[in-house]
Amino acid sequence: MANPVQSRQMQMANTSMMMTNQATIIRKRTNPDAAAINAQQVKKKRALDRSIPEKLDTLVHESRLYTELQEFERRLDATIIRKKMEITESHSKPMKVKRTLRVFVSNTSSNQQPVQGEGENELEYGDGSNIPAWTLKIEGRLLDAPNAPKTTRPYNHKFSHFFKSVIVELDRDPELYPEGSLIEWNKTPDAEEVDGFEIKRKGDVNLKAKIYLNIDQQPPRYKLSPELSEILDIKEDTKSGIIMTLWQYMKHNNLQDSEDKRIINNDARLFEVFKVPRIAFPQIPELINKHLLPVDPISIDYTIRVDKEFHQSRYAYDIEVEVDDPNKAKLSIPTSMANQKEIQSLDDKIAQCVQSINNSKTKRDFLLNFATSPVEFINKWIASQSRDLEVILGESKVNLEEQRRSEFYKQGWVNEAIFHYTTAQMPLLGKIKSQYEMWKINKYTRRRSTLTQDFEQKDLDFYKQNYVNGVYLNTAPDSEDFKRSSMSFGKKPGKNRKAAKCSESYNSY
């Protein structure tokens, strides 16, 4: 008989030869180009696991510092990601700051004293270049923000950028000046920006002018109707701001319908505005259009004087405008490829160190378990290697090494497996039991050929009435059935009591 150790060694040697042959076949069929590609992919693959083994802090107390650094790094990464998202979201929204635009109004005059002609009442203007005229100038500049550093880059938009229209109305006789008393400028998308407006007209008398400046606001702002302004307590706002304020009013007064939240039940004040008892909230942007009016323009009164060559208003007009936030450009997400490469290199070094620590921890556990209990460790190790071998060879059967041990049959799944097996075998067991009953009945009713013809049937009826599974029901010796059965066979009741209890003994007579 072969030694078990030698047989196991021979089995492992055969398995190794099978694996070697398989590997040889695979190497022969491998495409060299594919192998080169796989090698490059393995080179590029980085170790991403940077977690040190558990319970290492009991051996090396300094490992807790690394765990704390990892936790701090996770919090820092979460903060950086959140800030990046905030910057990205702020870039998608317009960032505006309020600044002051200072407007100056002045005028110049020319040729206000014509040359006296030969006649007493005649004035000569020559070729027309000496005709009295004046020029109205509307200019402005954007003031620096308070407490702003001097290194701040100046705003690159010009004066006309802040207005969508400029209207100048002159107070003079239209019969004397048929060219009209209304001058209007409207902003166009392709128009160039200018630093100011100049209006030149003929005239030799002082006159009043009214200047209307319509500010170009983005997003557009609207003036509310008196009815809606009284409810919301605001004079002007953007359309989205008006809808938000109206929603706050409805929510504060519980005007939403209890069944359908999209329906608004108007109170008395909203009924005066919309003229209906109920409205759907998605219809509000359309319903409030008739209650939105253009914002009033800025009006400036000025007197054009021709009695001196240059005249400037003693007032400067400050207008509050919104401009793009200059800090928006500074909110760009910093991306430095050099820093990213350095961080990636450090991460790779950390991953390599952690992998080395994991390998050392695995070796230590291996040797420590072997030193503590060599026999148990070798058995477990052989079982593990056997499972790995079955996985490599593609076998799906149960590990033979585990089947050899009694602990394999003491696991929790054994009872459940037995239950399912017996349940599946119940039809077969019932069939076997039925055949066994028929065998006992046939054995009991077997008689010699000299007996009467109806004895077998009577005996069968008696057996069915008095026996269950071959055991006699009436065991009392004084019962009538027992006496009758003994007398029917010509035997005394007390002498053959045991023989009447069993069909096998009865058949022996």
Rounded Cα distance between 225 and 207, Å, is 35
Same domain assignment for residues 289 and 321: no
Where residue 478 falls among pLDDT bands split at 50, 70, 90? low
Same domain assignment for residues 133 and 226: no
- Per the CB < 8 A criterion, the answer to whether 443 and 460 are in contact is no
**Residues in contact with 191: Cβ distance below 8 Å, sequence separation at least 6, in sequence order:** 160
Same domain assignment for residues 199 and 270: no
pLDDT (tens digit per residue) in 117-172:
555 555 555 555 678 889 999 999 888 877 666 555 556 788 888 999 999 999 88
Which pLDDT value is given to residue 384?
A: 82
- Quick one: average pLDDT of 32-59? 58
Same domain assignment for residues 209 and 262: no
Same domain assignment for residues 181 and 232: no
- Per the CB < 8 A criterion, the answer to whether 106 and 311 are in contact is yes
Answer yes or no: is 196 within a domain. yes
Record the tokens describing residue 54, joined without a space: 């558990």
Least confident piece of the model among 42-46, 375-379, 405-409: 42-46
Find the CATH number of the domain harbouring 234. 1.10.245.10
Which pLDDT value is given to residue 401?
A: 65
Same domain assignment for residues 247 and 109: no
pLDDT (tens digit per residue) in 40-50:
544 444 555 67
Answer yes or no: is 4 within a domain. no
Q: Is 467 helix (H, G, I), strand (E, B) or coil?
A: strand
Rounded Cα distance between 110 and 309, Å, is 6
Where residue 249 falls among pLDDT bands split at 50, 70, 90? very high
Q: Which of 275, 276, 280, 239 minimizes the C-alpha distance to 256?
A: 280
DSSP sequence for 290-328: GGEEEPPPEEEEEEE--SSSEEE-S--EEEEEEEE-GGG
**Residues in contact with 259: Cβ distance below 8 Å, sequence separation at least 6, in sequence order:** none
Q: For tokens 């040797």, what's the residue?
A: 367
Same domain assignment for residues 249 and 133: no
Same domain assignment for residues 301 and 290: no
Same domain assignment for residues 194 and 229: no
Answer yes or no: is 103 within a domain. yes
- Per the CB < 8 A criterion, the answer to whether 76 and 84 are in contact is no
- Quick one: average pLDDT of 355-374? 87
Q: How many CB atoms lie within 10 A of CB 229?
A: 16
Model pTM above 0.85: no
Answer yes or no: is 197 within a domain. yes
Range of the domain at 502: 433-507
Task: State whether the Cα torsion 220-221-222-228 is positive or negative.
Answer: positive
**Residues in contact with 250: Cβ distance below 8 Å, sequence separation at least 6, in sequence order:** 256, 264, 270
Same domain assignment for residues 464 and 494: yes
Answer yes or no: is 63 within a domain. yes
Answer yes or no: is 248 within a domain. yes
Where residue 444 falls among pLDDT bands split at 50, 70, 90? low
The residue out of 328, 351, 376 marking a domain boundary is 328
Find the CATH number of the domain harbouring 178. 2.60.40.1970
Least confident piece of the model among 93-102, 145-154, 347-356, 485-494: 485-494
Answer yes or no: is 462 within a domain. yes
Q: Which residues make beta-bridge pairs with 302?
A: 209
- Per the CB < 8 A criterion, the answer to whether 159 and 195 are in contact is yes
Same domain assignment for residues 225 and 310: no
Which pLDDT value is given to residue 14?
A: 47
Rounded Cα distance between 209 and 301, Å, is 6
pLDDT (tens digit per residue) in 204-245:
888 999 999 999 888 888 999 999 999 998 998 999 899 999
Same domain assignment for residues 253 and 192: no
Give the number of domains in the chain. 4
pLDDT (tens digit per residue) in 318-341:
998 888 777 666 666 666 677 788
Answer yes or no: is 372 within a domain. no
Using a pLDDT cut of 90, give the percent of the chain over it.
18
